[in-house]
């Protein structure tokens, strides 16, 4: 997608194009083997019931991208890192309609991603720290699931490192004390504090320029898009 693309919703569906069918097919692909289109497909899926020729154009743009990168896939290495590492990121209020933020995360094992996701947050964040904190909770939930799954298979126990690019969110997740600026945050988002306190997950800082989960929160310029693809092991496999 174009960087900083902003499409508005229409009052009703005014197009006869098979937009919904195309988005459904792209979503299937994004969930299985192509995390590099996950954000674009998730963004375009918001217009399933209110699309027109403009939305159809951008959906076909994703198809053109896939045609030009049909040899790209997930490449795993048997001598890669056997410890799961996670990356979580969030934008802040990029949606011009409801001003809600997007959360994105990915987890890597043996040189490539094994789990990823991006979704719009349920509530409006009042600051970038709050948006990152809510995204951190989503990442911790996935980390607990992956850790239990790996432990069931390999019987290995260790603390999963979850990288975040916001120092404020990192400090907030590690401090269970009451804060006047966070008293409005829903209880469900404080789940990450318990996970971190029990040493199931450890949160570390990673600069934004090296944060591959940034791909799941916004559309990027070509250079950053390809950089994060390589970091996640999404490379030419033929």
Are 138 and 221 found together in one domain? yes
Q: Is residue 1 part of a domain?
A: no
Same-domain status, 120 and 217: yes
Whether residues 25 and 105 fall in one domain:
no
CA distance 33 to 214: 18
**Of how many residues is the chain composed?**
238
Opening angle at CA 187, ends 45 and 107, nearest 5 = 50
Q: pLDDT at position 184, please?
A: 63
- List, in order, residues 6 or more apart from 31 with CB less than 8 Å away: 38
pLDDT digits (tens, 9 = 90+) for 71-107: 999 999 988 778 899 999 998 877 767 788 899 999 9
What does the pLDDT read at residue 12?
A: 60
Helix axis angle, 128-154 relative to 167-174, nearest 10°?
Answer: 60
Can you give the pLDDT at residue 170? 85
Partners of 113 in the beta sheet?
Answer: 108
pLDDT of residue 183: 64
Return the pLDDT at 146.
95
Give the domain range for residue 213. Answer: 85-236
Asked whether residue 35 falls in the same domain as residue 110, the answer is no
pLDDT at 87: 96
- Contact 131/90 with Cβ under 8 angstroms? yes
The confidence score (pLDDT) of residue 74 equals: 94
| 137 in the same domain as 204 | yes
Q: How many domains does the chain have?
A: 2
Q: Are 181 and 104 contained in the same domain?
A: yes
Whole-prediction pTM value? 0.89
Residue 52: per-residue pLDDT:
85
Residue 27 domain flag: yes
Considering the domain boundaries, does residue 2 fall inside one? no
Mean pLDDT of the chain: 88
Q: What is the DSSP letter of 122?
A: S
Give the chain's residues under pLDDT 50.
none
pLDDT tens-digit map of 115-131: 999 988 888 888 888 88
Residue pair 117/27 in contact by the 8 Å Cβ criterion? no
Q: Which two tokens stand for residue 164?
A: 């975040």
Query: Which pLDDT does position 176 carry in this prediction?
Result: 66
Residues 139 and 50 in one domain: no
78 in a structural domain = no
Residues 97 and 50 in one domain: no
Q: Is residue 4 part of a domain?
A: no
Do residues 125 and 167 share a domain?
A: yes
Greatest CA separation found in the chain?
A: 55
Q: What is the model's pLDDT at position 69?
A: 93
The encoded tokens of residue 32 equal 């299985």
Same domain, 37 and 107: no
């Amino acid at each position: 997608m174009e960087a900083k693309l902003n499409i508005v919703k229409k009052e009703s569906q005014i197009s006869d194009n098979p937009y919904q069918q195309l988005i459904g097919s792209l979503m299937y692909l994004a969930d299985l083997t192509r995390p590099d289109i996950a954000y674009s497909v998730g963004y375009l899926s918001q217009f399933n019931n209110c699309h027109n020729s403009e939305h159809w154009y951008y959906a076909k743009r994703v198809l053109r991208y896939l045609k030009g990168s049909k040899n790209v896939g997930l490449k795993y290495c048997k001598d890669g890192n056997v410890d799961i590492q996670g990356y979580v990121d969030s934008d802040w209020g990029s949606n011009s309609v409801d001003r809600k933020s997007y959360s994105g995360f990915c987890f890597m094992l043996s040189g490539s991603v094994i789990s990823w996701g991006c979704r719009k947050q349920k509530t409006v964040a009042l600051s970038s720290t709050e948006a990152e904190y809510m995204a951190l909770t989503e990442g911790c939930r996935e980390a607990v699931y992956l850790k239990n799954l790996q432990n069931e298979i390999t019987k290995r126990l260790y603390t999963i490192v979850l990288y975040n690019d916001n120092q404020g969110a990192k400090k907030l997740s590690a401090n269970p004390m009451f804060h006047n600026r966070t008293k409005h945050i829903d209880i469900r988002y404080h789940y990450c504090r318990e996970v971190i306190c029990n040493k199931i997950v450890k949160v570390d800082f990673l600069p934004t320029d090296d944060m591959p989960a940034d791909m799941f929160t916004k559309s990027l310029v070509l250079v950053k898009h390809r950089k994060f693809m390589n970091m996640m092991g999404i490379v030419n496999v033929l």
